[in-house]
Amino acid sequence: MTKVIAHSLFSDFDIDLFKAGKHFKLYEKLGSHVIEVDGVKGTYFAVWAPAARSVSVVGDFNNWYEGEHHLNVRWDGSGIWEGFVPELGAGTLYKYLIHSTNHGVVTEKADPFARCCEHPPMTASIVWEADYKWKDAEWMQTRKDKNALDKPYAVYEVHLGSWKRTNNNDYLSYAEFAKDLVQYVKEMNFTHVEFMPIMEYPYDPSWGYQLTGYFAPTSRFGKPEEFKLLVDALHQNGIGVILDWVPSHFPEDAHGLGFFDGSHLYEHPDSRRGYHPDWKSLIFNYGRNEVRAFLISNAMFWLDQFHADALRVDAVASMLYLDYSREDGQWEPNIYGNNENLEAISFIRELNETVYSNFEGIQMIAEESTSFSMVSKPVNMGGLGFGMKWMMGWMHDTLEYFKKEPIYRKHHQNDLTFSATYAFTENFMLPFSHDEVVYGKQSLLYRMPGDEWQRFANLRLLFGYMYTHPGTNLIFMGGEFGQSSEWNFQKSLDWHLLEYDFHSGIQKLVKDLNKLYQSHPALYERQFSADGFQWIDYGDAENSVLTYIRKGHDSKKDLYIACNFTPVPREKYRMGIPKTGQLKEVFNSDDVKYGGSGMKNGVLKTTKKTWHGYERSVEITIPPLGIVVFK
């Protein structure tokens, strides 16, 4: 095998940007790249290891022997080691063997920029050329309109390893998902899919939230171009793709980023800021320029190379606060004496400004569980710059309310109405995510009280209330058909439940709610604005009834919603209406096709009788544990 030849993909300008933390396409330079040099095809390697004394590429091509292929350190103080190995191509297994200047420490690391990785538990990087021709030009050209904040977001959250498996409990492939999953999501009328992390990760029980291969789709389901095929298929069917992204922490696995070159290269050197006690993981050093460039380049990579339409940024709260999950004495205040991580906040703002300015029509979504202000406000207004934020408070309050027996709900009406006091402080997404159906919390269905009929009626009401509440919507897989058991990442969802009417009824209901949401602008045009919501009456706690209006830009298309949170039907229930005319029922969760009792409303005429502060009103029927929507 030919020795390493001196070669570089870096210009002086590239190096200046890298040192300044402003090079946001590092994936075009660092890592392994199959190129031609002087007419000879081979692989160029480049790795950042400033504390290294020597760096060798070891792999299946040299029997993992370090003496054969030493990289050359650049002269410019960048800490980058590089070189070209002729006749080395795609499919080659490799790692970097690093001798550190730190007391003779030796590390053997996977490539942080590898485009492909071995199937865990194997840990080598793979030289890869992802040759793929995209066919989603129509989607990409119109994405700005379909993916905007005033458009519907009905999101189906998916863990690929457990959505569906073979009869032998083996994984499906990306190519199989491109048929089965895409067809299902389209039939269910979801607008977007959110994939739990598909970047390479070593430990299955982490569900992908502890990454080692930041630039490689996991090999569990196939090769990188096959994941592109899946994204492409979704786009061709008009479905947006949201990727979970984890810049908050990374695992200590020996082949990963931790102690990379014998120094704290990627993680903060102070354990009070560089180690996460809950997750037993390492925290990025957000104040180091090259680390910021690594992370922003990674976000850019998935938006650029894999046509992602949005990134849902995981565990933002853990990044924002120095005392997150720490006791007194385990953290150090910032220069102003408070608990905000100023370097992380600066990084998040730069991240959002960068990706929004580089990609038209994308969104950044924060999974942020605290009351940190202006998460989804623009950076130039003092915000963090995200497009949306998960509404964790609404989710907790709503589930807390729904688990109560209906007889007690009249004492807890505030659990439902409180969200309206802050619903428009952020651009909120309403999530019933994977976190709500694990660790003994039970499935959504079995958090509902009552007999079997009431459980399903409660779940239908829960989803109806969710879709008519201001904000966008997310449902974790299985919830859409009333999965009975908690989510188990080691096996398929219980698809056989669809043989039973109540479960298939929930599925039909979610399918119709997705259609309702997309076909009525009143539910999405002003979903983040107080102008898009108005109470009719939030004070009827005695009957556990809520009535409200959803508004779009055209007042003629307003929707009027009534919810009954008890199993007692509310017949001839008078509801104030601000207009003259007829009301037509456009959705009823008690429909027989959903498993309901079939109580319906015909065409109703408003009468000149003052009610709820309006001069006109109408008598409606609100079915037991039901929600009715009128136009």
Catalogue the active-site residues: 314, 367
Strand partners, 156: 193, 475
For residue 431, give the nearest of 492, 482, 479, 498 by alpha carbon: 479
As given in the structure block, the two tokens for residue 595 are: 């498993």
DSSP string for 50-111: TTEEEEEEEETTTTT-TTS-BPEEPTTSS-EEEEEEET--TT-EEEEEEEETTTT-EEEE--
Q: Which residues contact 140 (CB under 8 A, 6 or more apart)?
A: 134, 235, 307
- DSSP β-ladder status, 310-313 and 363-366: parallel
Structure tokens at 553: 């830009």
Q: Give how far Cα 135 sits from Cα of 174, 302, 307, 588, Å.
A: 17, 17, 11, 39
Strand partners, 33: 44
Strand partners, 473: 154, 430
How many angstroms separate the CA atoms of 279 and 386, rounded? 25
Shortest CA distance to 616 belongs to which of 583, 580, 585? 580
Contact indicator for 310, 155 with CB cutoff of 8 Å: no
CB burial readout 66-80, b (16+ within 10 A) else e: bebbbbbbeeeebbb
Q: How far is CA 288 from CA 264, 280, 292, 312, in A?
A: 11, 22, 6, 23
The residue written with tokens 């190519």 in the block is 175
Q: Tell me the CA distances in angstroms from 150 to 250, 548, 620, one per residue in order.
A: 34, 20, 31
Beta strand 626-630 with 559-564 is antiparallel
C-beta atoms surrounding 516 within 10 Å: 20
What is the side-by-side order of every strand in the sheet holding 626-630?
533-537, 545-550, 559-564, 626-630, 585-588
